[in-house]
Amino acid sequence: MKTTLRFTLGLGLATLPVVARAEESGIVPTDYSLQIWTLVTFVVLLVLLAKFAFKPIAEALDRRGQTIKAQLDEAQKSRAEAKKLIDDYQKQIAEARMEAGKVIEEARQLGEKVRKEVVDKANTEASAIVSRSQEEIIRQKEKGIQEMKDTIAGLSVQIAGRIIEKEVNTATHKQLIDGLITDLAKVRKQ
């Protein structure tokens, strides 16, 4: 109330120089009773406004200011929470990327291991096949040699039998050897 009264008196005193200037310029009528009543009415209206209107208006402005301040505080809290969520999401994304990198690396290592195992198995199987083939070739060769020895022995026995039947001379001997070579050639072709 004191501040309102001071404001009202200050306003009334502030209007006096304005009124004085208006009189000098001839704008304001010189009827002072009208001016006094106008001033009294203005002061009474100002006091009534101060008593009944200024306080509710000031309270409404204070409430509005508090509401705005609360909204600003809430906005700052929301912003801080949003920043925290963004940081958390970025951290989760970074962790997910690291995890994905680990999974990719593990898959690559597993693929390399499987590839190596397959190559090793193929090499082992190829070596086994080569070994079996070489053993089979050796067996076939030995079998062929044995068959040739048996054939030569048989032919030798036949030649010896023929020689015993005939008397051997140079021409007969040559004929027997030629026959043996021919028989050996036939055996080789088979």
Residue 94, CA distances (Å) to 90, 101, 107, 111, 113 in order? 6, 10, 20, 25, 28
pLDDT of residue 146: 81
The model's pTM: 0.39
Please give the Cα distance from 131 to 137 (Å, whole number).
10
Distance between CA atoms of residues 130 and 147, nearest Å? 25
Question: What whole-number distance in Å separates Cα of residue 30 and Cα of residue 106?
Answer: 104
Boundaries of every domain in the chain: 140-189
Average pLDDT along the chain, 190 residues, taken 10 residues at a time:
53 58 63 87 90 87 94 94 94 93 92 92 91 91 82 74 65 75 71
- The conformation of residue 28, written as its DSSP 8-state character, comes to S
Supply the pLDDT for residue 149. 73
Secondary structure (DSSP) of 116-154: HHHHHHHHHHHHHHHHHHHHHHHHHHHHHHHHHHHHHHH
pLDDT of res. 74? 94
Q: What are 69's two structure tokens? A: 């301040």
CA angle 121, 124, 129 (to 5 degrees): 125
Tokens describing residue 180: 């043996």
